[in-house]
Amino acid sequence: MKIAIGSDHRGYHLKEKLAAILRSKGHEVEDVGTDVTESVDYPDFAAIVGRKVSEQSADRGILICGTGIGMAITANKFPHVRAAPITDEVTAEISRRHNDLNVLCLPADMLSPRMVERMVEVWIETDFEGGRHSRRVDKITEIEKHTLQT
């Protein structure tokens, strides 16, 4: 799987660790930054990952900031992106099974690195269930067509 990963300064160390773990499991990881611990603006990195997922040059994306919220807001501005801040294994799984979440937004300041690693593992390994959930995701796509400029 090709995964685009990005963070702001608060998520930098966790991004580095997750990128290494994902590569060790055979995933192609494109790290879009940041590469510094000095303050940077999260929308810059969320936009890069969001665009890559939207244009299908990445299968999925992972974004990390203090809470995951700002990253999700920004990434969701791109067509075909379904991004959400996730804070536990259950929502990591359900976000894939029911919502086909393709951009995982993580809170570097709120969870232990081990918890985040487990959430990413669950999110990567869980497939979209389809069925009635496909109808709902299709409705989201229809709403996008009428509200987002593509």
Distance CA 27, CA 5 (A): 12
Counting Cα atoms < 13 Å in the Cβ hemisphere of 63 gives: 35
Number of helices and strands in the chain (H, E)? 6, 5
- Catalytic site residue from 9, 27, 80, 98: 98
Residue 98 falls in the annotated catalytic set: yes
Tell me the catalytic residues. 65, 98
